[in-house]
Amino acid sequence: MHNIAEKLSALIDPTRIITKQQDLAELAWDALSVGRIHPERQPAPAAPLCAVMPLTTAEVRSTVLFANSEKIPIIPFGGGSGLMGGALSVRPGLVLDLRFMNQIIEIDAASRAAQAQAGIILETLDQKLNAVGLILGHDPWTVPVATVGGAISTHSVGYRAGIYGSMGDQVLGLEAVLPNGEIIRTRGVSKSSTGINLNSLFIGGEGCFGIITEATIRVFPTPQCRLFHSMRFVSFEQGYGAIQDLFKQGLKPAVVDFGDAPDSDGAGAVLFLAFEGKQEIVEVEMQSALAVCRQHGAAQLPQEKAEQFWENRHVIARRFAQNRRQRRERGLDGFYRDWIHVALPASRVLSFRRAAMEIINQHGVRLQESGLWVHPELFSMRLGASASDTPNAQLALEQTVEELLQLVQRMGGAMEYTHGVGVKLASFMPGEHGYGLEVMRQIKQSLDPNNIMNPGKMGL
């Protein structure tokens, strides 16, 4: 390890090379908790050899060239808030901590675009945009922690994706360092017909094909108006019918957060709904949406409930930032938690949910919540199992998750729509992509013959 650090010190300021074991231990994991890993497929975590904190693309390039010549793995690390182990060190290597590459290069208000280094935190960029009358469209729960590069690498979805799209949808152009040290730059414009879209190598690529160093992303005018409401339906099915009708009528809510929580106060299912934009349009859209919900039997809840939901949407991430280890160690208390976030044709959501309930009950696992996020096609389930109630609770929970994801794939859906693959879902990639996974592996082999870029992730 010290030999590697000494060699790197000729390329990078030694004060930005980390060798202390305590610091490396914090960079060896992301937010994937021990309790969410299948006990029969747990990866063996590896202590990083060292970590590097680059400031520039040139320093990233130098580090990549060094790692390639030494055949040492590189693990890109952003905010460390990934939930699938995409930043987990599974082989001894170099952690590339990109959080010091946090500069805004340009905010082009006329073009509604911002260019920034990959390590900038989403909340920081959003605050700078707010000062000039713009907002960041990507608004996940991890806004106070996640970085631009990390969000692009997992193609994640945020609360307001209904009108702004996922993070990858907002990418105009990228700069990335390939495994051979070459720097690739795509043009930061909204449309091109000159060949395949090379941004797609890195959107959802989890650092396996190259390291994003800069991004030009679409930004949006600060909405003139934002309206919130929350409603309770008698059942999930009733609320789902209302949401389907909203979309059939062409309404585009900024926020759709819907779910039934058996353990929460009040029966039925609750919908949090928001529209934002120009005031007169938003008011008409909200009134139309409320009318649809009432037609489906919804009861409107107090206004403060919707506003509290909005105000508290990032609280979990702030707790994570204060104590990262707490999330990592979840499950060590004997209560195991996991979830699925799947995409299905809207016509199959209810039939999937019914079949899923049978699987859950067979394994003695507890459903904590089922719901929708953003669109009727994006369905989620939150599950739990207690060692005091369920024999081999962790195994029962993860076998349940496995069967649910396989069912999704058989029904023509996708096993995950927001958090990526990492190590957690790597074993499901053949079922997800078929021969498409082999295509990805051939691209990976062509670009990264020494397999140094985030090895062991995404089934590659």
Q: Could you read off the pLDDT of 223-258 as tens digits, one per residue? A: 999 999 999 999 999 999 999 999 999 999 999 999
Q: What does each C-alpha distance from 213 to 200, 232, 259, 314, 395 come to in angstroms?
A: 15, 44, 37, 26, 39
Q: What does each C-alpha distance from 264 to 267, 317, 369 come to in angstroms?
A: 8, 21, 9
* Domain residue limits, the chain: 2-99, 101-221, 225-313
DSSP state of 34: G
CB atoms within 10 A of CB 332: 11
Question: What is the tens place of the pLDDT at every residue in 101-124?
Answer: 999 999 999 999 999 999 999 999
Share of the chain above pLDDT 90, in %: 92
pLDDT value at 83 more than 90: yes
Element (H, E) at 443: helix 435-447
Span 225-313: which CATH code? Answer: 3.30.70.3450
CA dist., res. 34 & res. 31, Å (int):
9
CA dist., res. 244 & res. 251, Å (int):
10
Share of the chain above pLDDT 70, in %: 98
> In the CATH hierarchy, which fold is given to the domain comprising 2-99?
3.30.43
155 Cβ contact list (under 8 Å, min separation 6): 166, 167, 168, 203, 204, 418, 420
Contact 457, 87 (CB under 8 A): no
Span 101-221: which CATH code? Answer: 3.30.465.10
CA dist., res. 59 & res. 11, Å (int):
7
Rg of the chain on CA atoms, in Å: 22
Tell me the one-letter amino acid at 399. Q
Say what the pLDDT of residue 332 is. 78
Contact 104, 131 (CB under 8 A): no
CB atoms within 10 A of CB 165: 17
Give φ, ψ of 347 to 5 degrees. -70, -15
Topology agreement, domain 101-221 and domain 225-313: no
pLDDT value at 325 more than 80: no
Least Cα distance to 244 among 258, 227, 234, 226 occurs for 258
